[in-house]
Structure 1
Amino acid sequence: MNVEWARRMNVEPNLINPQADDCAKRLMAYLCDTYGKRMLTGQQIGVRATPEMDVIFRETGRYPAVGGFDFMNDSPSRVERGAVGTDTALALAWWRAGGIVTFCWHWNAPKDLVDQPPDNGWHRGFYTTATTFDLARAMDDPSSEEYALLLRDIDAIAGLLARLREAGVPVLWRPLHEASGGWFWWGAKGPEPCVRLWRLMYDRMTGLHGLHNLIWVWNGQHKDWYPGDAYVDIIGEDAYSPARNYEPHADRFRQALSYTETAKLIALSENGPLPDPDLMIASGALWLWNCTWYGDFLHKREDGETVVSERYTEAEMLRKVYRHPFTVTRDELPDLLRYPEGRTNREGKAPEAEDASGAV
């Protein structure tokens, strides 16, 4: 095994928050023990309908290890227009059923929504095209209304994360995602104000709100947007290959490794078609978890029933991924309430991965 590669895959379970809750420490210990040996299966749920988990179970007989949720409808500028957030309760139920929780936040801009349907209606207010909210101006003036509204929104979501903390739920927290793409308002003004917003969010959620159950997953997708090792627990990459292309995204895995010299866990935090586990192993793209996006990336309506769509991932590949010895499904997760903190290396490598660890 390549020495440098072995070092990068050997991540110590040290969270950036020195006051991290035991539940977060135990989850991080498990993730570090698993990294490079197996990949946790994951699935994002929908917004209006949430059939994803049941579709996967009917097709494979198993549930994903990681459930993906979104605070989209909890954004204050959506709530004031009638949106009702439901994902906090769904995430709590998922954790109690034995799954791991990850949250993103399609953050509707706090103000200045264009509100010109259909493409730029208020409900699409997280997109740059649907708002004139200027993050750089807000961050440059802490006395401004814009800055105060940023704090208001952060505090609103912190209240929901606090409910999860009170229930003992560790959260893989992935805010401000895909910032370098520029299609979301938090990335529209370049890296500097976005990095400042990330650090502000971390300091406020951790220091003011005491959210010590969070594991911080950064998903900026470009080195210039990296907020620093002291603000990132896990690096996530979002990668969408063409339909029925099951590539392992090895180039994106290497890209994620290049953001910092520090060994960090690397996850495929969003994907379209599933990556083929055999190709992952052969290429060394040993993602910690994947999270397939919702909707027709997984399912469709047919004859009045919700079934696997096969538009992006064929049913045969779905079954292969969920039954492969390299992947972890919900039924295979340990008791994370009792998992020992610190490094244990108790998982053991999957046989197929023995010769793959140094493949990149």
Structure 2
Amino acid sequence: MNVPTNLRRDRYQVEPKLVNPRADQTARRLMAYLCDTYGKHMLTGQQIGVHSTPEMEILHRETGFYPAVGGFDFMDYSPGRANQGAVCHDTDHALRWWEEGGIVTFCWHWTAPRDMMDLPNNKKWEKGFYTEATTFDVEQAMSDPSSEGYQLLVRDIDAIALQLKRLMKAGVPVLWRPLHEASGGWFWWGAKGPKPYLALWGLLYERLTHHHELNNLIWVWNGQHKDWYPGDETVDIIGEDIYPPKRDYSPQADRFDTALAYTSSSKIIALSENGILPDPDQMLTENVRWAWNCTWYGEFLYTRDEEGKLPYSEEYTEHSMLQKLYRHPFSITRDQLPNLKTYRLP
């Protein structure tokens, strides 16, 4: 799909209005900054690992800068994992990141509330967010609010709400990206098609926004297909997760254009996950200006040598491209962010 260049340019003009009318000042300030910056710059971003978190320091070592956006995951706060002894510190990491001047984004690899297979290979409970590792039926659960499955979904949402409340209490706005990549079907929340997924998105939005009164959230939808779009009334920002071939630095114009077509409303479009960094010069030439990127962790950034050291890996993005992006005038690193605690309100 080809969208005219002038349409893409117009789409960079987004009003800083959040879908939650009671959004607090922290969320409104961050949204104002994102709208002011959109189309003019891309915020650099990086997801941290699950069991080890060297990514930010490796980036600083290799480029001299920290990314503007830090990516975190509520995965091990899921009751299905916590009940197995999993421990998570991502809320603590996010609190520290915000205090150091960075922007926080969270996803949630939501382990199914029950019915993990716990079989060898890729079907153990640790993989319980994958469709292949659970028999939990989201369609059945969402069809009956009185069912155990539905009540367990609510239980899990409430567990994550506790972490989001910690962030809200500390004044941290969150780029909140739940139920991601649903249309791919590889996660249980997308395994039964759009209808139960959309119902689950509605439940999640309602429970967090109205029941828990979490007003620090900016809702980032990342369903990756128009048929799965929940509607403008519950989506602030659209994210695309893209893993092109190794060292393919193209700006992924087709995927940007696809994201534009999910709605006729003006929404910020972000590269919410990436394996390869896009070339900033190509982004400018082709007028494909993602609001931020968030490189996935581990092998996309580093390897581990025989001495246990963590050298930068050029397997996906060459070192020269990493430095180019982090030093490019189009890119924003953490040290270039304004004070978002006092940024002007819209």
- Report deviation, 1:118: 2.2
The residue that corresponds to 1:101 in the other structure is: 104
Q: CA–CA distance in 2 between the matches of 1:214 and 1:305?
A: 37
- C-alpha change, 1:304 and 1:6, in structure 2 (3 Å) is closer
The residue that corresponds to 2:268 in the other structure is: 265
- Report deviation, 1:3: 5.0
CA distances 1:124-174 after superposition (whole Å, capped 9, x unpaired): 000000000000100000000000000000000001000000000000000
Q: Is the 8 A contact 2:32 2:345 kept in 1?
A: yes
CA distances 1:183-213 after superposition (whole Å, capped 9, x unpaired): 0000000001101111110111010101000
2:155 equivalent among 136, 152, 163: 152
The residue that corresponds to 1:249 in the other structure is: 252
Q: Is the 8 A contact 2:9 2:287 kept in 1?
A: no
2:313 equivalent among 306, 309, 314: 309
The residue that corresponds to 2:174 in the other structure is: 171
1:9 equivalent among 8, 12, 27: 12
TM-score, with length taken from structure 1: 0.94
- C-alpha change, 1:97 and 1:224, in structure 2 (3 Å) is same
Q: CA–CA distance in 1 between the matches of 2:7 and 2:80?
A: 47
- C-alpha change, 1:285 and 1:5, in structure 2 (3 Å) is closer
1:307 counterpart SS class: coil
Q: Is the 8 A contact 2:236 2:267 kept in 1?
A: yes
- Partner AA of 1:113 in structure 2: M
The residue that corresponds to 2:345 in the other structure is: 341
The residue that corresponds to 1:347 in the other structure is: none
The residue that corresponds to 1:354 in the other structure is: none
Q: CA–CA distance in 2 between the matches of 1:6 and 1:317?
A: 26
Where in structure 2 are there 5+ consecutive unaligned residues? Answer: none
Report the count of equivalent residues: 342
Pairing 1:298–2:292 present: no
1:180 equivalent among 179, 183, 194: 183
TM-score, with length taken from structure 2: 0.98
The residue that corresponds to 2:91 in the other structure is: 88
1:301 counterpart SS class: coil
Q: CA–CA distance in 1 between the matches of 2:97 and 2:121?
A: 33
Alignment of 1:34-183 (within 5 A): 34-183=37-186
Q: CA–CA distance in 1 between the matches of 2:42 and 2:264?
A: 23
- Report deviation, 1:9: 1.3
2:126 counterpart SS class: helix
Q: CA–CA distance in 2 between the matches of 1:221 and 1:160?
A: 26
- Report deviation, 1:244: 1.2
1:273 counterpart SS class: coil
- Report deviation, 1:2: 5.6
Q: Identify which range, 147-156 or 115-124, moves more after superposition.
A: 115-124
Q: CA–CA distance in 2 between the matches of 1:312 and 1:5?
A: 28
The residue that corresponds to 1:349 in the other structure is: none
The residue that corresponds to 2:330 in the other structure is: 326
Q: CA–CA distance in 2 between the matches of 1:171 and 1:301?
A: 31
The ranges of structure 1 where at least 4 consecutive aligned residues each deviate by more than 2 angstroms after the TM superposition are 1-7
The residue that corresponds to 2:205 in the other structure is: 202
- Partner AA of 1:339 in structure 2: Y
Q: CA–CA distance in 1 between the matches of 2:10 and 2:206?
A: 29
Q: CA–CA distance in 1 between the matches of 2:297 and 2:141?
A: 33
1:299 counterpart SS class: coil
Where in structure 1 are there 5+ consecutive unaligned residues? Answer: 343-360
